[in-house]
């Protein structure tokens, strides 16, 4: 995998389809991004959960293109796709057959029900122990053949959970992995894998059985030349533990910690995290989901009688963080968050990252500097790459909170935003991150002086190559110094000045 910055995007939001996305990446973004995470483009890409409820996970939605278009994209960029291991659409042919024929269906064992996980029945404490970051129990009453069953639906009634250990479930997941590997995909994201294994008497979330499944599936992927990224929102110490046993894990603690630092001028929680976090991480500030706060809060899976496990931020700090996001967005994020807008996740705040910083160009670039200097593979969401504002019109049309951060760009809007100084500076920063050979080590120098946070990277193969950002958190401003492989120094007194960088 090439060193550099990756873009996260839907196939249709920048160029209309997969060929259009390839043109935007190559012609408009140029060499700013070396890779791309294309969010679900399977059939259908516009289902009940924006593609995360595939009817057919082995086929590209023909409205977006085909596997040849994915192969073409892989010619010039590292391609990452989602492998949705926990569930399929209730409209999938397999589950439709089970709905019609019940246990007589060849696919009956592929789907989980309450009784298949709890064959001897479930006690109240068994059900209360199940971890779910959404209200209620993860079951939907459906008629399967001639019987009414409680089908396991972790996320929505439209997303039916797969038994990943059944022969039918294993064969299904292998067929999906084979399809993406054949298209030149080099990295898969195991979407919501923390919920994929249900074990009676446990939280059914990131249990030892879950880790065993991840190990087994990772071995399958590696045999096909594909790396695995684990997507789990969880307590920070669990993230550190997950990082020890997988190829890559998301750093979901970084986005709220960066906001806290820039809001308060307090670098200590962020500096602490930079010292203890897993190095084999994909760093993000924004994704297609909201800004998570569960990742920096106290452990919500603590069993009764166990000692509490505090988070990276205290509960008052978390409350203040959420309220400040709402204030800086003029209340837009409050209208898109929690029970206010049909949200699936109650522990995420929905807003663009640019608006969460009040549309302050310098503060936004300072946040991106922290991300790009943090060890790992940096990914920038397409809305963030264009310093996008909250899409209140889309939110009003759909009533879905996450859509506030899922704008569809027209060609004219793309032209206009690519000319903005903040966007030009961000793309220049991304190009520097991919061209200065100072990032081949997973070490970062962290220095705190009052409200000043300094982050420094130095090349291992090219020790003369350096990259240093000095972030004044109180002023929400940053400066940058870097040197090339031969030691030639460069200086940007503020990050917005990178807009004129060639």
Residues with active-site annotation: 191, 231
Instruction: Please give, one letter per residue, the 3-state secondary structure of 72-140.
Output: HHHHHCEEEEEEECCEEECCCHHHHHHHHHHHHCCCHHHECEHHHHCCCCCCHHHHHHCCCCCCCCCEE
Largest Cα–Cα separation, the chain: 75
Residue 379 CB partners (closer than 8 Å, separation 6+): 5, 6, 7, 8, 37, 282, 283, 284, 287
Instruction: Please give, one letter per residue, the 3-state secondary structure of 189-221.
Output: EEECHHHCCCCCCCCCCCCHHHHHHHHHHHHHH
Q: Which two tokens stand for residue 314?
A: 């205290």
Residue 355 marked in a binding site: no
Residue 87 marked in a binding site: yes
The 8-class DSSP code of residue 26 comes to: I
In a 3-state reduction of DSSP, which class is residue 477?
strand
Residue 346 marked in a binding site: yes
Taking the CB of residue 413, how many other CB atoms lie within 10 A of it?
14
Q: CA-based angle 178:184:189, to the nearest 5? A: 70
Q: What's the rounded Cα separation, in Å, for the pair 31 and 209?
A: 41
Residue 231 marked in a binding site: yes
Using CA atoms, how far residue 398 sits from 19, 124, 341, 382, in Å, is: 27, 37, 9, 20
Nearest Cα to 281, choosing from 381, 369, 377, 190?
377
Residue 417 marked in a binding site: no
With beta carbons less than 8 A apart as the criterion, state whether 33 and 77 touch: yes
Residue 288 marked in a binding site: yes
With beta carbons less than 8 A apart as the criterion, state whether 49 and 58 touch: no
Instruction: Please give, one letter per residue, the 3-state secondary structure of 44-64.
Output: CCCCCCCCCCCCEEEEECCCC
Q: What's the rounded Cα separation, in Å, for the pair 9 and 381?
A: 6
Residue 345 marked in a binding site: yes
Residue 189 marked in a binding site: yes
Residue 12 marked in a binding site: no
Q: What's the rounded Cα separation, in Å, for the pair 371 and 107?
A: 44
Q: What's the rounded Cα separation, in Å, for the pair 61 and 65?
A: 7
Nearest Cα to 250, choosing from 217, 212, 288?
288
Q: Which two tokens stand for residue 362?
A: 């310098």
Q: What's the rounded Cα separation, in Å, for the pair 252 and 99?
A: 37
Using CA atoms, how far residue 58 sits from 55, 92, 378, in Å, is: 9, 12, 28
In a 3-state reduction of DSSP, which class is residue 229?
strand
Which residues are documented as binding site for substrate?
A: 49, 87, 189-191, 231, 288-289, 345-348, 402
Which residues are documented as binding site?
A: 49, 87, 189-191, 231, 288-289, 345-348, 402
């Amino acid at each position: 995998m090439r060193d550099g910055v990756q873009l996260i995007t839907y196939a249709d939001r920048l160029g209309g389809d997969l060929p259009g996305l390839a043109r935007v990446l190559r012609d408009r973004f140029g060499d700013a991004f070396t890779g791309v995470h294309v969010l679900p483009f399977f059939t259908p890409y516009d289902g009940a959960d924006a593609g995360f409820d595939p009817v057919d996970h082995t086929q590209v939605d023909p409205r977006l293109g085909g596997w040849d278009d994915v192969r073409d994209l892989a010619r010039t960029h590292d391609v990452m796709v989602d492998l949705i291991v926990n569930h399929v659409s209730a409209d999938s042919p397999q589950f439709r057959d089970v709905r019609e024929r019940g246990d007589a269906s060849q696919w009956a064992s592929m789907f989980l029900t309450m009784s298949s996980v709890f064959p001897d029945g479930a006690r109240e404490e068994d059900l209360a122990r199940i971890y779910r970051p959404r209200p209620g129990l993860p079951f939907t009453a459906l008629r399967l053949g001639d019987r009414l069953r409680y089908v396991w639906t972790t996320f929505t009634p439209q997303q039916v959970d797969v038994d990943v250990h059944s022969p039918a479930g294993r064969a299904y997941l292998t067929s999906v992995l084979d399809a993406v590997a054949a298209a030149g995909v080099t990295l898969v994201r195991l979407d919501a894998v923390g919920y994929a294994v249900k074990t009676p008497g446990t939280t059914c979330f990131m249990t030892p059985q879950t880790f065993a499944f991840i190990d087994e599936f990772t071995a399958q992927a590696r045999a096909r030349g594909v790396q695995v990224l684990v997507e789990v929102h969880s307590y920070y110490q669990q993230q550190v533990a997950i990082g020890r046993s997988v190829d890559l894990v998301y750093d979901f603690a970084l986005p709220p910690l960066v906001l806290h630092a820039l809001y308060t001028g307090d670098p200590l929680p962020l500096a602490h995290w930079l010292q203890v976090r897993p190095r084999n991480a994909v760093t993000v500030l924004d994704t297609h989901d909201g800004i998570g706060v569960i990742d920096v809060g106290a452990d919500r899976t603590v069993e009764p009688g166990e000692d509490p496990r505090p988070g990276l931020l205290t509960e008052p700090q978390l409350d203040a963080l959420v309220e400040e996001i709402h204030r800086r967005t003029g209340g837009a994020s409050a209208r898109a968050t929690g029970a206010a807008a049909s949200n699936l996740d109650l522990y995420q705040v929905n807003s663009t990252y640019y608006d969460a910083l009040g549309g302050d160009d310098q503060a936004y670039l300072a946040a991106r500097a922290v991300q790009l200097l943090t060890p790992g593979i940096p990914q920038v969401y397409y809305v963030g790459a264009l310093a996008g504002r909250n899409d209140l019109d889309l939110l009003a049309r759909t009533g879905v909170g996450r859509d506030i951060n899922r704008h569809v760009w027209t060609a004219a809007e793309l032209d206009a935003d690519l000319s903005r100084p903040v966007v030009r500076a961000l793309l220049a920063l991304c190009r520097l991150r991919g061209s200065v050979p100072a990032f081949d080590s997973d070490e970062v120098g962290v220095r705190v002086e009052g409200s000043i946070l300094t982050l420094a990277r130095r090349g291992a193969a090219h020790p003369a190559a350096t990259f240093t950002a000095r972030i004044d958190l109180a002023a929400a401003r940053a400066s940058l110094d870097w040197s090339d492989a031969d030691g030639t120094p460069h200086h940007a007194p503020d990050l917005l000045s990178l807009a004129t960088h060639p």
